Structure 1
Amino acid sequence: MNLYPLGKTLCKTWFSLFTRVTVIGKENIPDDGPVLLCSNHISNMDPPFVGSFMKRRIHFMAKEELFNKRVLGRLLPSLGAFPVKRGVGDRQALRKGLSLLEKGEVLCLFPEGTRSKTGEIGEGLSGSGFFALRSKAEVVPVVIFGPYKPLGKVAVVYGKPMNFQTLRDEKVSAAKATEKIMESIQELKDKHIETVINNE
């Protein structure tokens, strides 16, 4: 059962009614072809928020523990999520992610691997660099501003696609590629933070 369209509609409606949403840079998302979205991570609400205001369907990695829960385990696959084992090199999850990108899908990752308690952007894990280097996907940095409070300001900014072909040609490490991605997310945050804060 494909619950993605319904879930997207419900989430978009909820965010629009109960928070003050700002969306910047939707035009930076390619209309077709493989796309790797790499976002900071501040809340469990990040995945539905990132996807709610995009035309294209997004696939997410989610920690394996969530799929062991009776209800969530059945819902998550129909909402575009697939499991990943944290703290180990999960080859099955890596193959799944690459397969989606090879099919021209959109894959969203949160490179930090866990939520930031301070809101500051931390170091990224090498998985995002792996996907960026091993696929032909357009790599789009994303930054989310919160917190998700009733009637509070919340924003998502989609940056311009990064040019990863040079890094692919240079055969840099996945860790180095991830570092470049995190730098782009930080630059995106620094560029837009005043606009988001002052937007009423």
Structure 2
Amino acid sequence: MYRFLQVLFYFLFRIFYRIEILGEENIPDTDKLIVVGNHRSNLDPVVISVFFKRQIFWMAKKELYENKLFGKFIGALGAFPVDRFSIDVKAIKTALRHIKDGEVLGIFPEGTRVKEKNYALVKQGTAIIAYRARATVLPVKLEGTYRIFGKFRIIFKKPIDMSKIARPENEEYELISQDIMRRVYGDKEIGNLPS
């Protein structure tokens, strides 16, 4: 079903939007990969998944599962729930299992849709998962709107090899996650990431 919908939405997006994809050369060939992006619309995970060759297993806010039918649908596509307001141990274990199995994990570290970047919203879970999995993080920036026939850009940024980072202190995970989002947005990083 995932592949069928991927192909279907690929043609729909190509028909109704002017989509430009940049930085595909930055996509690493690794089994331990986390796709991390900015989040402005419910369509964001769809559009990234459509234009990414491998299946992405997205962390999705648990509120989406309150509708059981919709929850089963996105679950069938590989998504799994996360509690955005606590350190969700079950979701972290699920994420780590996907990475261990060589599957691509997808995360929106801001935890909600945002109109303007706000690093105070960034959750520490991204850094926790990436460090424990010794994974590579692929930052993705989405630009534009989903207005019909509007222009839209998907920009794959320079990847971050988290296996090169020293063991963080507990309070450093949030700062690392914020620097990952600075890489997404193209802002100056504080220096919490490996070069």
TM-score where L is the length of structure 1: 0.86
SS in 1 for 2:161: coil
- Which of 11, 14, 32 pairs up with 2:12? 14
1:113 aligns with 2:111: yes
SS in 2 for 1:77: helix
* Consecutive unaligned residues in structure 2, runs of 5 or more: 188-195
Could you say which residue in structure 1 is the equivalent of 2:44?
Answer: 46
Cα distance in 2 for partners of 1:70, 1:164 equals 36
SS in 2 for 1:149: coil
Alignment of 1:145-164 (within 5 A): 145-164=143-162
SS in 2 for 1:171: coil
Could you say which residue in structure 1 is the equivalent of 2:141?
Answer: 143
SS in 1 for 2:106: strand
Could you say which residue in structure 2 is the equivalent of 1:79?
Answer: 77
Relative to structure 1, is the Cα distance of residues 166 and 32 closer, same or farther in structure 2, using a 3 angstrom cutoff?
closer
SS in 1 for 2:72: helix
Per-residue Cα deviation, 1:130-158 (whole angstroms, up to 9, x for no partner): 11211121111110012100000111111
Number of residues of Structure 1 aligned to a counterpart in Structure 2: 184
* Contact 1:7/1:79 (<8 A) preserved: no
SS in 2 for 1:112: coil
Pairwise CA RMSD of aligned residues? 1.7
1:89 aligns with 2:87: yes
Cα distance in 2 for partners of 1:78, 1:10 equals 17
* Consecutive unaligned residues in structure 1, runs of 5 or more: 189-200
Cα distance in 2 for partners of 1:13, 1:182 equals 30
Please state how far the C-alpha of 1:27 moved relative to its aligned partner: 2.6
Please state how far the C-alpha of 1:90 moved relative to its aligned partner: 1.3
Q: State the percentage of identical aligned residues.
A: 35
TM-score where L is the length of structure 2: 0.88
Please state how far the C-alpha of 1:170 moved relative to its aligned partner: 4.5
Could you say which residue in structure 2 is the equivalent of 1:182?
Answer: 181
* Contact 2:136/2:163 (<8 A) preserved: no
Please state how far the C-alpha of 1:63 moved relative to its aligned partner: 1.3
